[in-house]
Amino acid sequence: MDAVVDVRPCLIEVTGCRQAYHKEANADLVVLDDVNLTLREGEIVALLGRSGSGKSTLLRIVSGLLKPTSGSVKWRGTQITGPTDGVAMVFQSFALFPWLTVQENVEIGLEARRVPRAEREARAETAIDMIGLGGFENAYPKELSGGMRQRVGLARALVVHPDLLLMDEPFSALDVLTAETLRTDLIDLWMDGKLPVKSVLMVTHNIEEAVLMCDRILVFSSNPGRVANELKVPFPHPRNRLDPDFRQLVDDIYGIMTRRPTASPKAALAAPVSPLAMPLQRVGTNIMSGLMETLAAEPYAGRADLPALAASLQYEVDDLLPLGETLQLFRFAVLEEGDILLTDLGRKFVEGDTDERKQIFAEGLRAHVPLVNMIRQVLDERWNHRASAVRFRDELEDHMSADYAADTLRTVIGWGRYAELFAYDEEAEQFSLEDIE
Amino acid sequence: MSATKIPFMAAGWRMPNIWDVAAFVCVIGALVAVGHVAQGTMVPIDAPGATEITLDPWNLPEYALRTTMRMFAALAASLLFTFTYGTAAAKSRRAALVLVPVLDVLQSVPILGFLTFTVVFFMNLFPGQVLGLELASIFAIFTSQAWNMAFSMYQSLKTVPADLAEASVSFHLSGWQKFWKLEVPFATPGLVWNTMMSMSGGWFFVVASEAVSVGDNTWKLPGIGSYVALALEQKDILAVAWAILAMLVVILAYDQLLFRPLVAWSAKFRFETTAGSTASDPWMLRVMRRTRLMKFIGEMVGNAAAYVGGLRLSFRSRPVAETSKQPSRTVDFLWSAFLLVVVALAVWRVVIFASQALVWSDIGEAVGLGLITLVRVVVLMILATLFWVPIGVWLGLRPEWARRAQPIAQFLAAFPANLLFPPFVLFIVYFHLSPDIWLTPLMILGTQWYILFNVVAGAAAFPGDLKEASANFRISGWLWWRKVIIPGIFPYYVTGAITASGGSWNAAIVAEVASWGDTKLQAHGLGAYIADATDKGDMARVVLGVVVMSVFVVLFNRLLWRPMYAYAQRRLTLA
C-alpha cells in the first residue's frame, strides 16, 4: 500500500458501525458488524456484496435515514442525526411520485428547501437537460420507460447539488443495454466535471459495474455484513471491459466473493452453532439441474470460469453465487478461486433419469440439510405423520431474521417435495407423509 | 416546451368564450342558492314555513336543494373527520390501538336507531332554532358517511410505498410536506371512491332523518325526505312519483357534475407505474379543462393548495433518522392500564344502566328477533346472488355491455331505496300480503346493486388467456361455472356482498316497518323492534336493539365475510 497521506477533504467517516435488530429470546441479529468507511472528495466508491450483506443498510446509515445501533457517522467532521443536506439519493425502484410530472418530481427536493420558484424551475431545467430528459418535462413517470425513469431519479438527486450522491443499485431494475447507456452517460458527465457532486457512493451486486465505474470497491461478506476486502481500481476512464487487466480484476473479485469464510477467532469463541442456523437460499431444483447439465456439457466439460459463465447465462453475482453455493452444499460442485467444478456426484446426477436424480437429491438433502432431517424425524415419530410448519419457522427465527426463516422454509419445502421426502399442505401450513412411499 | 405549462395571463387576453359565460352564470347561481339555504337554517323553529312543507311539486326543486346542501355539509364534516381521525390512527401506534377497533364497531352500528336522541341533543344546543334540527339531520348523514372514508384513509396511509416514503425523507420533506405531497395524493383514489359510496349511503339517511318525531312533536325539515313522509301520510302516490323524479334528477346531476370528473381526475394519483388504458374524460371534466375561467379558478385553487402543502410547518427543524430502538415498554404498559380502566368503567356504566330498565327476557327477545332478521338477510343474500351473479357474469364478459351496465348499476346503488318503498307498501296493502315476507325485499332493494357491479367488474377483469384456455379445452356448462368463472370473480363478489349485507342490516330499521296513511305494516324482526322503541322514546330498548344488531353484524362479518375474503385473497387471486 502506498504510504502517501490522502489530503483530499473527507466527506463521510463511518467508524465501528454496527447495526443489529433486537430479538426477543435470543441474541441480536447482526446485519452490519464493525464497519469502517471513509469517503473523500473526488472519488466513486462501490459497496459490493451479495443480497443480505448489509450494504444497503450501510447506505441508509450514511444518508442519515437510519441510525446505527452503535458506532459513529460523521459528515465533514460532525456527527449526523438525520438526513444531511449534502446528500441525495437515487433509488433502485426509482421512487418517483406517480402523480407528479418529470419537472415536479425533479423540483421536489428544492421545494422542500424552500428554494424560490423561479430559481427552482431554472435549476430543474438545467438538471433535466444535463441528464438527457429535455422534452419530457410534462410527462408523468408512467409514460416513461425504465431508463428514462431512472434518469428522472438521477436529475432529482443532482438538482439539489449534493456533495455526495448515493445510489442504491441504481441500474439493477433496468435491462442490460439501458443500464450500460446510463452508466457510461454518468461516467462521461463525471469525467467532464459536469456532475454537480463531489463524490459518489453506490451499492451494487454487479461486479463488472463496480469495476467499470468506481475508483474503490469495498467487498462485503454476509452474515453478518463486514467489509471483507477493499480494492483500488487503477484504470483510467473510459474503461474497456475486454481489457485483460479489467478481466483479471473481475476474476479476482469473484475469487474473493466465493472464498469460503475462514473462521475468525471471534466466531470460534462464540457458542456452538446450531445445525438450524443455516439460511438456505431460494434456489429451485430445476435451475440446479440446469446449471449442472450446462457445466457437464461442452464447452465447459466440468469446469467453468464464473465471470464467463455469468456472462453467457446473463446472470449477475446475486443469481450465480447462491446457485453455486447450493450445489456446493449438496457436494455436486466445488467453488474455487472464481471457478466452479462439477464433482463426480454432480456428474452422476446429470447422467441419471428422473427417479435416480430424485434419489441422489434425497440422499444429499438428508446428509447435508439438518432441517430436512428434523422435519422427517418429527413426521416419522408422530402417530398421524403430520407436523405444523409454524414450529419449524419459529425455531428458525431463533437463528435468523423472519425473512430469511421464511425463505429457508420455502426452499426446504420445495426441495423436500421434489425429493419426495414429505408432502406439504399450504392451506393448513402442515407437513405430512401423505402419498410418500 | 408544450403550451399547457404557459401561465394563464401569459397567453394574452382574449375575449372569454361561450363556456366562460355559462360557467360564470352557474357559479353565481350556486352562490345565490347556498345563501338562500343558509338563511333558512337560521330562523326560529316556529317561524311560518320553517318546518312546514306542502305537496306542491313546484316546491320540490327547493326541497331537493335543501336536501343536497345537507348532504354536502355532512360530507365536509366527514372529510374533516377522515383527515384527523384516519391520520391519527395511522400515525400513532398507541392511538391506533383504540381508534381502529372503535372505527370497526362504528361501521357496524346502525346509527339510524339513535336518531331521536341525537335530535334532542342538538335541539338543546340551539333551543328553538331550526339549526338544531338541521344539525341533527346532518349528523345522521355524517354517521353514514364518515367511517368508511376514515378507514380508507387509514389503510392508504398504512400502505404508502416504502421507497417513496424514504425518498421524501431523504429529500428533506417535513412531516407536513410529506403528508400533502405523498400521503394525501396516495390516499386520494381510494378516498374519492369511498366518498362516492358514502354519498350513496347518505341519500338513504337524509331521507330518513328529515322528518323526525320526538315525543309528541313531529318536525319536518324542508327536503325530499319530509316531502315523501308527508305524501305517505296523505296517501298521495302522485307526490311520491314526483319526489322520485326529483331525486333521480338530483343524483344524475351530482353524479355527472361532481363524481364522474372527480373519479377521472383522481386516476392521476393511482399508484401504478405502467400506463393503463385511458378512458375518455367525462364531459364535465372536459368543460372544466377547456373553459378559460374554470381553468383559471382551478389553477388558483391548485396553487393555493400547493402553497399550503409546501409550507414546512414542523416542530422539528429537520427530519430525524429512524432508529431501531424498541418503543418504551413502560409507556406501553401505562397506556394499556389506562385503557383497561376506561373499558371497566364503561362496562360498569352499561350494567348499571341496563339493570335499571331491562330484564333478561328483554335480551332474549331482542336476540330472537335478531335471528329472524338474520334469516331474512341470509335468504336475501342467497336470492340476490343467484339472480345477479349470472347476469353480472354475462354482462362482464361482454365489454361493450359491461361499459354500459356499470354506470347504471352504480347509479342504482346511489339511489335512496327508501324512496321506492311506497309503491311496494301500496302493493302489499292492496293485495293484503303478509308483511313478514313481503316487506323483506325492501331490505336489499338498495344494496343488491353492489353485488351486480362488483361481479361485472370481476368478469370484465377475467384474464383473456384463461378465457381462451377454457374455450380450448372445451370447458363448459356447470364445470365452467364451478372451476373457471366463479373462482375468477369470487374476490370481487365477496367485496360486493360485504357491502350489500352490511347495508341490508341497516336498512332493516327502515324496511321492517312501513306505513300508508293510517295503515301500519310491521314485520317481526330486530329492525322493527328498534323502530318501535324509537317511536316510543324507549332509550333502553333502542340501545339494546342497536347493541344486539351490532353484535350480529360484527359476528356475521368476522365469522363469514372475513374468512371468505381472506380465502379469496389467498387462493383466488393471481400472483
Matching residue, cell 420533506: B173
Q: Are A159 and A239 within one domain?
A: yes
C-alpha cell at A404: 430469511
CA distance A338 to A336: 6
Q: Is A273 inside any structural domain? A: no
Please judge whether B169 and A140 are an interchain contact, meaning their C-beta atoms are less than 8 angstroms apart: no
**Of A197, A223, A258, which one is at a domain's C-terminal end?**
A258
Give chain A positions within 8 Å (CB) of B192: none
pLDDT of residue A81: 82
CA distance A37 to A216: 11
Please judge whether A112 and B166 are an interchain contact, meaning their C-beta atoms are less than 8 angstroms apart: no
Q: Are A304 and A422 within one domain?
A: no
Please measure the distance between the N-terminal and C-terminal CA atoms of chain B and give it in whole angstroms: 41
Give the CA count within 13 Å in the CB-facing half-sphere of B104.
Answer: 14
Q: Which chain B residues touch A if contact means CB-CB below 8 Å?
A: 1-2, 4-5, 161, 163-164, 166-167, 169-174, 177, 181-182, 185, 268-276, 310, 312, 318-324, 326, 571
Q: Of the candidates A425, B418, A427, B148, which has an alpha carbon nearest to the alpha carbon of residue A435?
A: A425
Q: Are A151 and A234 within one domain?
A: yes
Please judge whether B269 and A99 are an interchain contact, meaning their C-beta atoms are less than 8 angstroms apart: yes
Matching residue, cell 380450448: B472
Give chain A positions within 8 Å (CB) of B161: 95
pLDDT of residue B79: 92
Local mean pLDDT, 10-residue blocks, chain A (437 residues): 67 88 63 88 91 84 87 88 85 87 89 86 92 90 89 92 92 88 92 91 91 93 83 90 90 83 45 66 89 89 87 81 88 87 91 91 90 89 88 83 85 92 88 80
Q: Of the candidates B199, B190, B201, B211, which has an alpha carbon nearest to the alpha carbon of residue B52?
A: B211
Q: Poorest-confidence range of A48-57, A225-234, B20-29, B86-95?
A: B20-29
**Of A294, A327, A351, which one is at a domain's C-terminal end?**
A351
Average pLDDT along chain B: 79
Closest residue in B to A112 (Cα) is: B173
User: What is the mean predicted confidence (pLDDT) over B141-160?
Assistant: 87
Handedness of CA B62, B67, B70, B76 (dihedral sign): negative
Please judge whether A113 and B172 are an interchain contact, meaning their C-beta atoms are less than 8 angstroms apart: yes
Q: Of B161, B169, B324, which is closest to A83 when you measure between CB atoms?
A: B169
Q: Are A344 and A359 within one domain?
A: no
Residue B48, pLDDT > 90, answer: no
> pLDDT band at residue B488, thresholds of 50, 70 and 90?
confident
Give the pLDDT confidence of B506-529 residue by residue, as tens digits.
788 878 887 777 778 888 888 888
pLDDT of residue A266: 45
Q: Is A267 inside any structural domain? A: no
Q: Poorest-confidence range of B325-334, B352-361, B444-453, B556-565?
A: B325-334
Closest residue in B to A61 (Cα) is: B321
pLDDT of residue B215: 62
CATH of domain B358-575: 1.10.3720.10
pLDDT of residue A261: 58
Give the closest-approach CA distance of B118 to chain A in angstroms. Answer: 42
The interface predicted TM-score (ipTM) is 0.72
pLDDT of residue B46: 63
CA distance A244 to A236: 14
User: What is the mean predicted confidence (pLDDT) over B523-543?
Assistant: 83
Handedness of CA B1, B5, B8, B14 (dihedral sign): positive
pLDDT of residue B275: 47
Choose, out of A87, A97, A203, A426, the residue to mutate when testing the contact with B (most B CBs < 10 Å).
A97
DSSP B560: I
Choose, out of B273, B328, B570, the residue to mutate when testing the contact with A (most A CBs < 10 Å).
B273
Architecture of domain B14-270+278-315: Orthogonal Bundle (1.10)
Strand partners, A35: A17
Q: What CATH code is carried by the domain that includes residue A193?
A: 3.40.50.300
Residue A285: domain span: 280-351
Give the pLDDT confidence of B372-392 residue by residue, as tens digits.
999 999 999 999 999 999 999
User: What is the mean predicted confidence (pLDDT) over B390-396?
Assistant: 91
Residue B8, pLDDT > 50, answer: no
Q: Are A384 and A246 within one domain?
A: no
Higher-confidence residue of A344 and B311: namely A344
* Structural contact between residues B128 and B44, judged by C-beta atoms closer than 8 angstroms: yes
Strand partners, A305: A339
Residue B283, pLDDT > 70, answer: no
**Of A296, A317, A351, which one is at a domain's C-terminal end?**
A351
Count of the separate structural domains present in chain A: 3
Higher-confidence residue of A408 and B215: namely A408
pLDDT of residue B327: 64
Q: Are A47 and A143 within one domain?
A: yes
Please judge whether B310 and A109 are an interchain contact, meaning their C-beta atoms are less than 8 angstroms apart: no
Q: Of the candidates A362, A328, A371, which has an alpha carbon nearest to the alpha carbon of residue A346?
A: A328
CA distance B51 to A204: 73
- B25 class by beta-carbon count within 10 Å (0-12 exposed, 13-18 middle, 19+ buried): exposed
Q: Are A337 and A189 within one domain?
A: no
Backbone dihedral angles phi then psi of residue A37, each to the nearest 5 degrees: -155, 130
Residue A422's identity, in one-letter code, is: F
**B404-432: string of b/e by CB count within 10 Å (b at 16+)?**
ebbeebbbbbbbbbbbebbebbbebbeee
Q: Are A120 and A234 within one domain?
A: yes
- How does strand A423-425 pair with strand A430-432? antiparallel
DSSP A226: E
pLDDT of residue B24: 67
pLDDT of residue B10: 37
CA distance A84 to A4: 30
Please judge whether A140 and B324 are an interchain contact, meaning their C-beta atoms are less than 8 angstroms apart: no
Residue B394's identity, in one-letter code, is: W
Percentage of chain B exceeding pLDDT 90: 7
Residue B12, pLDDT > 50, answer: no
Q: Are A246 and A347 within one domain?
A: no
CA distance B143 to B150: 11
What number of C-beta contacts closer than 8 Å exist between A and B?
A: 99
Please judge whether B273 and A142 are an interchain contact, meaning their C-beta atoms are less than 8 angstroms apart: yes
DSSP B2: -
Reported as type and span, the H/E element at residue A228 is strand A226-232
Give chain A positions within 8 Å (CB) of B312: 112, 114
pLDDT of residue B21: 66
Please judge whether A140 and B268 are an interchain contact, meaning their C-beta atoms are less than 8 angstroms apart: yes
Give the CA count within 13 Å in the CB-facing half-sphere of B485.
Answer: 24
Q: Is A271 inside any structural domain? A: no
Matching residue, cell 320540490: B60
- How does strand A339-342 pair with strand A386-388? unpaired
Instruction: Return the domain boundaries, chain B.
Output: 14-270+278-315, 358-575
CA distances from B54 to B39, B57, B234, B250, B278 (A): 20, 8, 11, 20, 48
Q: Is A221 inside any structural domain? A: yes
CA dihedral A186, A188, A189, A193 (to 10 degrees): 140
Q: Are A43 and A162 within one domain?
A: yes
